[in-house]
Amino acid sequence: MYGIGELSKRAGVKVPTIRYYEQMGLMPAPERSEGNQRRYGRPQLERLSFIRHARDLGFNIEAIRDLIALSGHPEDPCTTADLIAKEHLQDVQRKIAQLKKLEGELERIVSNCASHTVEQCYVLRSLSDHTLCDHDHQ
């Protein structure tokens, strides 16, 4: 059994984050020692590692909660898990497309700046006048 500090070290997750996951229902309430300290075992470490990996991949709390619920039914088909992952992939692809547009716009703005005075600075003018931009960035 691990205390919360040891669990934190083993999983690479900060103690407040572990408590947050407990409050959000992603982690089950831990057993308590006679001194009322949280005690965790291997299953909780595995769950926390699952959550950390899902968060590292950008899944939101609701999706992780759904995936955890699915993992409790190993005999069920994985269509729901696939759907959750596909929706997340589409979100990531949309964000990447938006970031590529921003990158292009910033490259254009920077390349138009001839390093004159601040009064003539194209970067500052572009930020002040949205019509100088090629695309909408919202």
Q: Are 3 and 37 in contact (CB under 8 A)?
A: yes
Q: What's the pLDDT band for 130 if we cut at 50, 70, 90?
A: confident
pLDDT in tens, 68-97: 999 989 899 999 999 999 999 999 999 999
Q: What are phi and psi of 102, to 5 degrees?
A: -60, -40
Kindly list the distances between the CA atom of residue 127 and the CA atoms of 76, 115, 120, 134, in Å, as whole numbers in the listed order.
53, 16, 13, 12
Instruction: Tell me how far the alpha carbon of residue 94 is from its chain's centroid.
Output: 15
Q: What's the pLDDT band for 137 if we cut at 50, 70, 90?
A: low
Task: Return d(Cα 69, Cα 65) in angstroms, integer.
Answer: 6
Where do the domains of the chain lie? Answer: 4-71, 79-132
Per-residue pLDDT, averaged over 19-30, amounts to 93
N- to C-terminal Cα distance for the chain? Answer: 49
CATH of domain 4-71: 1.10.1660.10
pTM of the model: 0.79
